[in-house]
Amino acid sequence: MGNFGAGVFKHLTQNRALLRERLGYEMSIGKIAVRDLGRDRGVDVPPQLLTTNWRELLDDSSTQIIVELMGQKEESLELILGAIERKKIVVTGNKALLAEHGKEIFESAFAHKVPVFFEAAVGGGIPIIKSIREAFIANHIQSVHGIVNGTSNYILTRMTEAGLGFKEALAEAQAAGYAEADPALDVNGGDAAHKAIILASLAYGFWVPPEKVFVEGIENISASDICFARQFGYRIKLLAILKANEGEIEVRVHPTLIPESHVLASVNGVFNAMAVKGDVVGESLFYGRGAGQDATSSAVISDIVEAADALQSPRRNLGFMPHGLYGTCKPIDQIVSEYYLRLTVDDRPGVIAQVAGILGALNIGISSILQPEAAEGEIVSLVLMIHRATNSQMTAALAQMEALECVKKQPRMIRVEHFS
């Protein structure tokens, strides 16, 4: 019963009458596991409901639904698998656990015919899981483009709007409570990757192995990159990208230049948004708070209600339906994209020709070049917008460019997405 558990208890209690009227039955909380009985959680909980031994929840035969909000993996996995084995329906918001152990969890769920619900694992209070699983059930999901980490989005927003560097924007996010003391999973793309795996698994019918997902964070994005991107008409966002094409899928998370005219470019601060494209429904947009006690509580309570309905009307869909229409993840080297490329070079004759020669030899085209004015011989930025090429082509080009005498720092490459 940490921050999210306290929120779920608070809203279940405050909105008890509303839930009773809408559902036609009463739900009651039988037991709550805590680590510290004396901790103030901001809500009044009857002491008889509390225990420091979470296994008591498994052993209580009257408990029909287990809500797992412990926020780590080893004990959480033991609790979830133990609940499934005892035929108790599970509600969880544990994105890391699902991303890494979803296949194991749902194999057990199917073996015991027990549903597992996890709306809170992606997008906070945004109903993206139910939408992909239920509302878009008749659709081949052609693509999902998501801003799914509020911390990184806040940092990039402040870098864009206030001209801050990465370290300054991160410090501001930590001071405002939007970033943890250890922000690694948020800024290195790990948190967004967990969510991308869950969405891809739902959309494409198999649990995507984490090692098949390309992940890159925002730690190396500079104020210069933000500025140059805007000059070309783009914003930089940490984007989770899912795509399906002829049986293969792409699952990747990385900083991305997106056109300022696209709706995702205007998603700022700690907000999340996901653009979903289905072959039947077309394009849909989901927007809202992706984290926080209240948004997460809303999603968890929605799952609790669905779990209660499942107790009265058993279902075949146990939260995830596997199928074999897709089955392979395209390696990052084969993925085609457009690119932003920033080089730090000597400003002298022949530099652009050397760079263009490397790209031309690899059959890579240049769409635009930008170089700020400087006195000859100074160190300057050379920025190029690159036509569509494979990641392996660009990797080869970067290695050759870095070896040039005129290139003074490691080249910086950011992928570009036009949502076509």
Cα separation values, 411 from 196, 208, 217, 231, 401, Å: 27, 31, 16, 19, 8
Q: What is the pLDDT of residue 71?
A: 81
Q: Indicate which residues carry an active-site annotation.
A: 195
Determine the average pLDDT of the residues in 52-80: 93
Nearest-angstrom CA–CA distance, 164 and 172: 10
Q: What is the pLDDT of residue 373?
A: 77
Determine the average pLDDT of the residues in 99-117: 96
Burial class (CB in 10 A: 0-12, 13-18, 19+), 282: exposed
Q: What is the pLDDT of residue 227?
A: 95
- Is there a single domain that holds both residue 364 and residue 275? no
Instruction: Answer whether residue 37 is part of any domain.
Output: yes
Instruction: Answer whether residue 323 is part of any domain.
Output: no
Q: What is the pLDDT of residue 317?
A: 86
- Is there a single domain that holds both residue 279 and residue 159? yes
Half-sphere exposure of 248 (CA within 13 A, CB side): 8
Instruction: Answer whether residue 216 is part of any domain.
Output: yes
Q: What is the 3-state secondary structure (H, E, C) of the chain?
A: CCHHHHHHHHHHHHCHHHHHHHHCCCCCCCCEECCCCCCCCCCCCCHHHEECCCHHHHHCCCCCEEEECCCCCHHHHHHHHHHHHCCCEEEECCHHHHHHHHHHHHHHHHHHCCCEECHHHCCCCCCHHHHHHHHCCCCCEEEEEEECCHHHHHHHHHHHHHCCCHHHHHHHHHHCCCCCCCCHHHHCCHHHHHHHHHHHHHHHCCCCCHHHCEECCCCCCCHHHHHHHHHCCEEEEEEEEEEEECCEEEEEEEEEEEECCCHHHHCCCCEEEEEEEECCCEEEEEEEECCCHHHHHHHHHHHHHHHHHHHHCCCCCCCCCCCCCCCEECCHHHCEEEEEEEEEEECCCCHHHHHHHHHHHCCCCEEEEECCCCCCCCEEEEEEEEEEEEHHHHHHHHHHHHCCCCECCCCEEEEECCCC
Q: What would the pLDDT profile of 167-200 be if each residue is shown by its tens digit?
A: 999 999 999 888 888 999 999 999 999 999 999 9
CATH number at residue 305: 3.40.50.720
Q: What would the pLDDT profile of 27-55 be if each residue is shown by its tens digit?
A: 899 999 999 998 888 899 999 999 999 99
- Is there a single domain that holds both residue 181 and residue 306? no
Which of 413, 408, 418, 350 lies closest to 380, judged by CA?
408
* Domain-ending residue, one of 280, 312, 344: 312
Ramachandran area for residue 378 (φ above 0: left; ψ -120 to 50: alpha; else beta): beta
Please, which pLDDT band fits residue 326 given cuts at 50, 70 and 90?
confident
- Is there a single domain that holds both residue 212 and residue 186? yes
Q: What is the pLDDT of residue 372?
A: 84
Please, which pLDDT band fits residue 375 given cuts at 50, 70 and 90?
low
Determine the average pLDDT of the residues in 58-81: 93
- Rounded (5°) CA angle 231-233-238: 105
- Is there a single domain that holds both residue 69 and residue 87? yes
Q: What would the pLDDT profile of 222-250 be if each residue is shown by its tens digit?
A: 999 999 999 999 999 999 999 998 789 99
Q: Judge contact between 387 and 338, C-beta under 8 A.
A: yes
- Is there a single domain that holds both residue 241 and residue 166? yes
- Is there a single domain that holds both residue 153 and residue 283? yes
Q: What tokens does 314 get? A: 């058993």
Q: What would the pLDDT profile of 392-406 be if each residue is shown by its tens digit?
A: 999 999 999 999 999
Q: What is the pLDDT of residue 347?
A: 87
CATH number at residue 338: 3.30.70.260
- Is there a single domain that holds both residue 141 and residue 201? yes
Q: What tokens does 116 get? A: 């597992």
What percent of the chain shows pLDDT beyond 90? 85
Q: What is the pLDDT of residue 166?
A: 96
Instruction: Answer whether residue 28 is part of any domain.
Output: yes
Domain count, the chain: 3
- Is there a single domain that holds both residue 195 and residue 277? yes
Nearest-angstrom CA–CA distance, 400 and 359: 9
- Is there a single domain that holds both residue 339 and residue 361? yes
Instruction: Answer whether residue 109 is part of any domain.
Output: yes
Q: What tokens does 226 get? A: 């933000």
Nearest-angstrom CA–CA distance, 60 and 155: 45
Determine the average pLDDT of the residues in 107-130: 95
What percent of the chain shows pLDDT beyond 70? 99
* Domain-ending residue, one of 255, 289, 323: 289
CATH number at residue 250: 3.30.360.10
User: By residue range, what is the domain housing residue 381?
Assistant: 332-416
Q: What tokens does 381 get? A: 């930025």
Instruction: Answer whether residue 320 is part of any domain.
Output: no
Instruction: Answer whether residue 138 is part of any domain.
Output: yes
- Rounded (5°) CA angle 242-208-297: 75
Instruction: Answer whether residue 376 is part of any domain.
Output: yes
* Domain-ending residue, one of 312, 347, 377: 312
Q: What is the pLDDT of residue 377?
A: 67
- Is there a single domain that holds both residue 81 and residue 166? no
- Is there a single domain that holds both residue 25 and residue 56? yes
